[in-house]
Amino acid sequence: MTEMSYLDGNMLDGPMRELFTVDLSSAMGRCENCGMTGSMASLHVYSNAPGLVARCPSCEQVMLRLVRGPDRAWLDMRGTTFLQVPMPMEQPFPGPL
């Protein structure tokens, strides 16, 4: 193979659901490098690595790395400035706990 092929961020949902209770593939994230904001589902995911590497579709900056070991997981998101996660309309104003 001359070029490494990638998948898209849709496939992150299963692996990320092991860590989070919400679907992160429909979350919006901003790339720390180029500032583009888009859905996590649109990231380019390279799975032919010891873990999953997700890159910005615009500038190819690594936005997320996820490595799963038998008894632990490593999540590196230093390439992502923020994640905006859709939430159910349960509590319009966050109140004190």
Partner 1 sequence: MATSKPPRTANRWQVARLVERRVETRTAQTLVLEVPDWPGHLPGQHVDLRLTAPDGYQAARSYSIAGPVVDGPGGPRVEVTVQRVHDGEVSPYLIDVFGDGDPLEVRGPLGGWFIWRPEETAPVQLVAGGSGIVPLMAMIRARRAAGSKVPFRLIYSVRTPSDVIYADELRRRVRDDFGLDIAYVYTREAPEGWRGEPHRIGLADVNTHGWPPDLQPLTYVCGPTAFVETVADLLVGLGHPSRQVKTERFGPTG
Contact 52, 43 (CB under 8 A): no
How many Å apart are CA 9 and CA 55, to the nearest integer?
Answer: 9
Q: Rounded to the nearest whole angstrom, what is the least distance from the CB of residue 91 to partner 1 in the complex?
A: 20
Q: Rounded to the nearest whole angstrom, what is the least distance from the CB of residue 89 to partner 1 in the complex?
A: 16
* Cβ-based nearer residue to partner 1, 68 or 81: 68
Contact 27, 17 (CB under 8 A): no
Residues forming contacts to partner 1 in the complex (CB under 8 A) are 1, 5-11, 13-14, 17-18, 21, 23, 25-26, 39-42, 47-48, 86
Report the residue count for the chain: 97
